[in-house]
Structure 1
Amino acid sequence: MASLFGTDGVRGLANVDLTAELALDLSVAAAHVLAEAGAFGVERPTAVVGRDPRASGEFLEAAVVAGLASAGLDVLRVGVLPTPAVAFLTGRLNADLGVMLSASHNPMPDNGIKFFARGGHKLDDAIEDAIEARLREPWKRPTGAAVGRVHDYPEGVETYVAHVVGSAPYRLDGLKVVVDCAHGAAYEAAPEVLRRLGADVVAICAEPDGLNINAGCGSTHLDLLIQAVAEHGADVGIAHDGDADRCLAVDADGQVVDGDRILAVLALAMQEQGRLRHDTVVATVMSNEGLRLAMQAAGITVVDTAVGDRYVLEAMKDHGYALGGEQSGHVILLDHSTTGDGVLTATHLLAQMSHTGRPLSELAGVVEKLPQVLVNVGGVDKRRVASDHNIREAVAAAEAELGHTGRVLLRPSGTEPLVRVMVEAATAEQAEAVAKQLADVVRSSLTLAE
């Protein structure tokens, strides 16, 4: 049986894969595992529970709250907030557990559950395995005054906004910014942070109705943002995903600035300020080679990890690094957050524009990207991608063709039923051709029977 937990919690089609029953059972199991591991700091622990605006989040939140309270945890419901806000509040409120209900950038019918331990840190693999192993086990239920109590915490948005505003190294006066909130969890917090710092803010896709999250907008659909930047004559556009743990940007000319280039801008800024500990930035194996070359030229080391901001975070914590992230726009500023935070990332990126007076196109131009093509192959058995003989032979042939001018990476998605085929090459045409060849091999070798 495949593990319930992927690279970022448990995800699936809400009310089919991720049901109210499963949400309740996961919450109870998490409470038991963390309690027995000594992770709770007090006899009567507290949990923070938040969600994105998806319609299914309403019943899943009720199930999670019921499970935690039945296990004897007091619950603070913070409502619709970004994932990093829930992580932050878990630490700020000295809670013993945080739970976020979101499927991030996935389509609206999906949903997910992410757990945070004390301090707002994601659970490690061993704890997640233990939670899954303890699902639906018999347990002694508390009664009477021992059951958990449930309270709303409406101050959560203001507490988080004040935290991000307070982290900004410079104000944003004079910048005109379009921010695409993806009809998601940051619809209130993201524009408010930038306005308080003095930016002229145009908010788009900031009217969630439970059904429109990520629908043709946000960090996975940038056309609306590009159009709005042009229409409003803005200096820059910022795009978040449904739970706002990502940030992508668009410069004044409509060119996309991805996570690699954002990392480079922030790394150089932090190096100049003396805040880039060990002159090192952490990235993943998906990051473009152009990032590594730009950082090498600046005397900055790039440390690679597996894909997933949890693995970036592990490397940062283990070695004391301050900055890390992914090409997709998950960026971790460890001095201010325990997880990827799109609103925080946007704030610091814009602060560098304001401080230097340079356009984003010039700041991001430090990274000359190698042509890179990513093909997502669906409907296949992603578990066999590393062991299939035909795929191994095809990859070896592709690597021989590319030589030192490119690279190949095949990996099963940790959040979706896909195999991701990534190819970098000296030219876009070669990258596209090699990626298509490999995708065809994956499709023919691993296609699931109907």
Structure 2
Amino acid sequence: MIKESISGIRAYEHDFTEELISKYIESFRCILDPCKVIIGRDSRKSGIKISKIVKKYLASQGVHVLDAGICPTPTIEFLTKELGYDGGIVITASHNPLPWNGLKFINADGTFLNKAQMEKLLKLKRTIEIKREGTKSAEIIEDNKIRRRHVEYILELKPIDIELIRKKNFRVVIDAVNGACSETAPELLTEIGCDTIEINCDPTKPFPRNPEPLVENLKELSEKVKESNADIGFAIDPDGDRLAVVSNEGLPIGEEYTVVMGIELILSKCSDNSKKNVVVNLSTTQLADIVVKKYNGNIFRSSVGEINVVELMKKVNAIIGGEGNGGIIYPECHYGRDSLVGIVLILQMLAERNINISEYVNSLPKFYMIKDKIKIKNKDLQNVHKKLENVKNLLKPDSIDFTDGIKLLWKNYWLHIRPSNTEPIIRIYSEADNMGFARELVEKIKDLLKNE
């Protein structure tokens, strides 16, 4: 199985043949015409083989390669721009379980290829011919310590007071699911003075559970936080762009709060007359709107997908953004979702306010989000649109947004139906101040789509 989307390429490892990989890389090369490329990978064993194929092909075409080894996606994004590389490639299937792997492609500015670029790449791949080895192979440099540059930069970010965080001596449990952040995240936490307890931080081992950092997958982390009397628990996905939090009470609070806490800290640092623009995607919690309004800021919503958020952030000159799946985008570091940046922003907020996670969560209005999905043969949402027209009068939304699938909005709740960028499914999200009502909204749409 092979899944091609704006987010990159994902496939079962046995479908990633050398010929197919080479076609993707040659298509990437045709778009960016790079002289030098940095690559990294998550901890999947199949990444070793894929990495060798990528390096070999690029070097054979005269492209200088820096191989950062096992390295978080946000680190490769940061390093691509910071070191002046012409592009980057990350070998990862993100939160997909084994036996998936994949390819993510990065521009010279450290951002993912946009929709137009990815469409061009995929079109080229269908007809492109793999080039034979050139007359002179370029150099391949391996440096698995280069990721340190990213950590050093994070520690120098303006909102971060390292000494203040160190004085708090937070006890932190970190669960990196044996992924790309297994070494980097504990190193960062130790450097900022945390009493760090590691679970699943061995990149030589397989994922111990479903690697997506959803509430239902964080039982071990929750138990460890309670057992250790820790202040907070962090869970990171395999390639390090998503961050979920477990409270001091051992309760997973959900990924949605990650970006909310990041927004809270950054807006609190702004002067009253400064421009406080924030961008999140259409599926992100309405708590983001509440926090932005608290600081008299402006919130903008994009289609789901990191590059969509990033492009809108650049357009409106946003000071922070992200996605409700645990992805904070802070442009003072780089334009990409970054779990490591998320960790320090959250700890900074807790240290400044002398509060714990539970106190912060309890200070906000309570909303319940349901995230569900359904497999559907026809992913053309036009048919879904027609079905929804029949129930629009029944649901009576205050407004409808067709930017990314269909989003129905009311004063205090919403429902979002859209095709996944990474899986052959329709995602159905709802949020309301009543769990039963949020679930009821989702079930109505699921029944509707099943009868499609």
The question of a shared fold, defined as TM-score above 0.5 by the shorter chain, is answered with yes
Query: Shift of residue 152 of structure 1?
Result: 0.8
Shift in CA distance, 148/49, structure 1 to aligned 2, threshold 3 Å: same
Q: How far 1:169 moved relative to its partner?
A: 0.9
Give the aligned partner of residue 11 of structure 1. Answer: 10
**Secondary structure of 1:119 counterpart:** coil
Q: What is the deviation of 1:329? A: 0.4
Where structure 2 has 5 or more consecutive residues not aligned to the other structure, the ranges are 398-408
Tell me the C-alpha RMSD between the 2 structures.
2.4
Cα deviation digits, residues 287-332 of structure 1 (max 9, x gap): 1223313322331221111111211111111221120011110110
Pick from 366, 381, 388 the counterpart of residue 385 of structure 1. 381
Separation in 1, partners of 2:81, 2:52: 22
The question of whether the paired residues in 2 share the 8 Å contact of 1:269 and 1:352 is answered with: yes
Select the residue among 50, 55, 63 that pairs with 2:45.
55
What secondary structure does 1:352 align onto? Answer: helix
TM-score normalised to structure 2 length: 0.89
1:299 aligns with 2:306: no
Report how many residues are paired.
432
* Pairing 1:195-344 to 2, within 5 Å after superposition: 195-209=190-204, 212-213=206-207, 215-216=209-210, 219-220=213-214, 221-274=217-270, 278-344=275-341
Counterparts of residues 344-383 of structure 1 (less than 5 Å):
344-378=341-375, 380-381=376-377, 383=379
Matched ranges for 1:174-193 at <5 A: 174-193=169-188
- Note the C-alpha offset of 1:405: 4.3
Letter in 1 for 2:9: V
Label 1:142 to 1:289 Cα distance change in 2 as closer, same or farther (>3 A).
Answer: same
1:244-273 C-alpha deviation (Å, 9 max, x unpaired)? 101111110123334443333222322232
Q: Does residue 137 of the first structure (1) align with residue 128 of the second (2)?
A: yes
Q: Is the 8 A contact 1:291 1:368 kept in 2?
A: no
Does the 8 Å CA contact 2:240/2:339 hold for their aligned counterparts? yes
Q: CA deviation at 1:394?
A: 5.8
Residue of structure 1 in register with 2:434 after alignment: 427
Gaps of 5+ in 1: 446-450
Give distance in 1, aligned partners of 2:280 and 2:194: 29
Deviation at 1:369, TM superposition (A): 3.7
The Cα offsets for residues 213-252 of structure 1, whole Å up to 9 and x where unpaired, read as 2624562321111111101000011110000101111110
Q: Which residue of 2 aligns with 1:98?
A: 88
Alpha-carbon offset, residue 432 of structure 1: 1.2
Q: CA deviation at 1:376?
A: 1.2
Q: Aligned with 1:421: secondary structure?
A: strand
How much has 1:203 moved relative to structure 2?
1.1
Residues 282 and 149 (structure 1 numbering): CA distance in 2 closer, same or farther, change over 3 Å?
same
Q: 1:382 to 1:274 in 2, by over 3 A?
A: farther
Distance 2:95 2:103 in 1: 14
Deviation, structure 1 residue 362: 2.2
User: Could you say if the C-alpha distance between residues 405 and 274 of structure 1 is closer, same or farther in structure 2, counting changes exceeding 3 Å?
Assistant: closer
Percent of aligned pairs with the same amino acid: 25
Structure-2 change in CA distance of 1:334 and 1:157 (3 Å): same
Between the aligned partners of 1:395 and 1:255, the Cα distance in structure 2 is 37
Q: Does 1:169 align with 2:167?
A: no
